[in-house]
Amino acid sequence: MLLFIDDVRRRIKHFRAHSTYINAVIGRGNLVSTTLLLLLSVAQITSCVILIIPSLYRRMGTAIPSIALGSTAFMELIIYHGFRDNEIFMKVCIIEVCLFMVALLRRDARARSEAIGIPLSGTSLVIEEYIRKRCTFIHTSIICTLLATFVLLWAVVFYKFWNFSGTAFEMKRTSFTLCMAECGLLAFLAGQDRSPSYHIVEKSCNILHKVSRFVHVKLHRMHEKKNRKKHL
């Protein structure tokens, strides 16, 4: 949601430049370009507000605002020729997956079914159940959290776009927003893990222990090889 809000902010800040560019692309006049930009911004802001506020998405659902955001993201990809840039294309693909999962999993149909005591069935419920079972089996709360932390640190260290200007600013910002989209997807997958909390802590400690042990063994073997070469 923050990526969409930031895009709207930047679009409003440089509204005239965006309007001129869209007019050059579609060639329908300034009025059509301005109207398209306004509709795009309003649709994104409205959808984000609905998905952020629980009382709104419980009443209105998550499917329509998610579809609206996905449609506007795809429209931007076409208008701004995002297919030519691999990072922009990957970011939009990841965002589309996130929005699909938001529309499907945000309201937790299984929990609602158990709460009201009425059995529910359908394709969406089957997909929802499958995703949560896979996430629980893989323990995404551990793996995805670690990966998201790594991606976030990587983005902050290597893509500090706020320290640049001009073309470098746009390139670094694109890479940074791609990392943020990846973090969002990983965080969402981590939230679908239904493992007991004490199992999560225990398994995370075991994973960290295995990783540290693996690194220690590898470093020890490398050190032994170097000693053998020196001896020879």
On whether residue 37 sits in a domain, the answer given is no
Work out the burial of residue 33: count CB atoms within 10 Å of its CB; fewer than 13 is exposed, 13-18 middle, 19 or more buried.
buried
On whether residue 116 sits in a domain, the answer given is yes
Residue 161 contacts by C-beta under 8 Å, 6 or more apart in sequence?
169, 172, 173, 175, 176
- The per-residue pLDDT for 129 is 81
On whether residue 24 sits in a domain, the answer given is no
Alpha-carbon gap, residue 102 to 110, rounded angstroms: 15
Kindly provide the b/e burial profile for residues 71-108, where b requires at least 16 CB atoms within 10 angstroms of the residue's own CB: ebbeebbebeebeeeebbeebbebbbbbbebbbbbbbe
- The per-residue pLDDT for 198 is 45
On whether residue 19 sits in a domain, the answer given is no
Task: Give 85's pLDDT tier (boundaries 50, 70, 90).
Answer: confident
- What is each CA distance from 10 to 14, 17, 41, 68, 228, in whole angstroms? 6, 11, 11, 20, 59
On whether residue 131 sits in a domain, the answer given is yes
Residue 175 contacts by C-beta under 8 Å, 6 or more apart in sequence?
87, 155, 158, 159, 161
The more confident residue out of 230 and 90 is 90
On whether residue 153 sits in a domain, the answer given is yes
- The one-character DSSP state at 84 is G
How many domains does one find in the chain? 1
pLDDT digits (tens, 9 = 90+) for 140-167: 888 888 899 999 999 988 888 888 888 8
- What is each CA distance from 124 to 18, 66, 97, 107, 222, in whole angstroms? 38, 15, 15, 12, 51
pTM beyond 0.85: no
- Domain that residue 199 falls in: 66-231
pLDDT digits (tens, 9 = 90+) for 178-224: 999 999 899 888 888 877 754 555 555 566 566 667 766 766 677 67
φ, ψ dihedrals at 22, nearest 5°: -65, -35
On whether residue 11 sits in a domain, the answer given is no
Task: Give 229's pLDDT tier (boundaries 50, 70, 90).
Answer: low
Task: Give 227's pLDDT tier (boundaries 50, 70, 90).
Answer: low
CA 227 to chain centroid, in Å, comes to 46
Average pLDDT, the chain: 79
On whether residue 161 sits in a domain, the answer given is yes
